[in-house]
Amino acid sequence: MMKLRRATSLLLPALLLLPALHFAWPTAEQVTVEAAALPDAARAPADPAPFPEEAAIEELAEAPLTLDAPQAAMVEAVPYAPPGTPSPEPEPAFTEQTVTVASGDTLLGLLTEAGVPAADAHAALAELLPLFPAHRLRPGQELLLRFDTDDETRLMALEINPGPGHTVAVERQGDGWLADEARLPEHPHLAQVDAVVTGGVFPALVNAGLPANLAYSIVRAFSHRVDFQRDLRAGDRVAVAFERMRSEDGTLLRHGRVLYAALTLSGQTQEIWRHEGPDGEVGWYDAAGRPLAGGFLRTPLNGARMSSGYGMRRHPILGYNRMHRGVDFAAPTGTPIYAASDGVVHSVRRERGYGNVIRIRHPNNVLTLYAHLSRFAPGMAAGTRVRQGQIIGRVGSTGMSTGPHLHYELHVNGQAVNPATSRLPAPPALAGRALLQYQTARTDLNRQRARLARGLTEVALAPQ
Ligand SMILES: [Zn+2]
């Protein structure tokens, strides 16, 4: 007992240095390599030790801290067994079998192949499927099967890992089966990618290593402020700070949220921070606490090129000069069209010139119009409430149109205005206590990012 406690207290100084290692852990693959550097890190503060106690600490710090290190063995060698404690129940003996999923396999097929009777296989899977839907089965995944040692077709348990650090299992319990799920505790780390924008913000971020869904969320966030088709220039930059969730031993479990992004266009940088607002809604805010959403999307569809601007022009079909009361975005038929802002559908109908057209009413007497649609999204009808970014229909070429495009109009107080240039009523900024909370969180995150800027690829964040 004494020996055990002593080992623990001696280990403590070395363990305190452990968090420092997280900073140098860029990827899961490198973790094993970095862990080997521990003795160096532990040795760093070494000074001549005047007291025997410190010398002992130092000696311990010199030793490689791996699973088979002497101190681990020391703990192992002194099991705690108070007198009179009955020895624990012997672990039931199982025969284990690991099955690797191949393309085209099904869970039922794999169990049948392993010799599990159909009734058992069905009963076990009925419990497993709510936690592990069949469509999550991937080639390369491993299925751990436990059989009764006395009856090698009697399945006792089944275990699978839907993702790193995530285990789903079913186990025979009496006459039935019991499902269980376990996840390794997640430790948030902050990572940042910084990329030169060539050929678009999205590909630049994905090429820099940001997962596609996170890159997409950034493009969506900035689309409130930036018309990517018009505003991007060669040499523009984008930076994104995001979470990586790691296990205790540094294995990458999953990516978390994007917390910050900066877009530099023609030398001008726009920075945005993710924040939970006073109403509990999560959104993007600028440095002054102004929300990005709630205004109007400048481009109500993705990846479109503005093919015709607002103003007088020669009409492509009518052949004479007339006012173009909106802007046109060329895009392939079927491209989703988004509601430019929160509102209520005013009308959904087919008209001679506009073809399939939707009008949406927004607060402050603003109306948006979307024309030439190939089809309307399900549920679109006068009175339907829509959220900003919600799909309301698909690009087409119905009505008076020479090819697939979206004709988009913006009306304020009954007058058509130029959607590309008009300033619309902005949503309210954070104020008072809410602003204070936001600025505190922002300062804290910026401090972490500053550590990344000093050459570290990742910093550990305080758990939430
Ligand atoms: Zn048009």
CA of 236 to the centre of ligand 1 (A): 30
**Separation between Cα atoms, residue 288 and residue 445, nearest integer Å:** 15
What are the tens digits of pLDDT across the range 206-227? 998 899 999 988 888 887 777 6
What is the pLDDT, as a whole number, of residue 32? Answer: 31
The gap from C-alpha 84 to its chain's centroid, in whole angstroms, comes to 52
Under a CB-based contact definition with an 8 Å cutoff, are residues 382 and 338 in contact?
A: no
Q: Minimal CA–CA distance to 334: which of 387, 286, 263, 395?
A: 395
| CATH 2.70.70.10 residue window(s) in the chain | 305-417
Q: Where does the pLDDT of residue 91 fall: very low under 50, low under 70, confident under 90, or very high at 90 and above?
A: low
**Separation between Cα atoms, residue 23 and residue 41, nearest integer Å:** 12
CA of 327 to the centre of ligand 1 (A): 5
Structure tokens at 158: 């089944």
Domain 94-183 has CATH 3.10.450.350: yes
CA of 338 to the centre of ligand 1 (A): 17
Residue with tokens 């309307």: 376
CATH of domain 199-293+429-456: 3.10.450.350
The gap from C-alpha 195 to its chain's centroid, in whole angstroms, comes to 19
| CATH 3.10.450.350 residue window(s) in the chain | 94-183, 199-293+429-456
Residue 386 has pLDDT above 70, yes or no: yes
Residue with tokens 């089944």: 158
Query: Residue 75: enclosing H or E segment and its boundaries?
Result: helix 70-77
**Separation between Cα atoms, residue 416 and residue 432, nearest integer Å:** 37
Under a CB-based contact definition with an 8 Å cutoff, are residues 35 and 250 in contact?
A: yes
What is the pLDDT, as a whole number, of residue 147? Answer: 94
Full-model pTM: 0.54
CA of 418 to the centre of ligand 1 (A): 12
Q: Is 200 exposed, middle or buried (0-12, 13-18, 19+ CB in 10 A)?
A: middle
Structure tokens at 456: 């570290």
Q: Minimal CA–CA distance to 295: which of 303, 285, 287, 308?
A: 285
Ion ligand 1: residues, CB < 5 A: 328, 407
Measured at the alpha carbon of residue 76, what is the angle toward residues 72 and 77, in degrees to the nearest 5? Answer: 115
CA of 387 to the centre of ligand 1 (A): 24
Q: Where does the pLDDT of residue 75 fall: very low under 50, low under 70, confident under 90, or very high at 90 and above?
A: very low
CATH of domain 305-417: 2.70.70.10
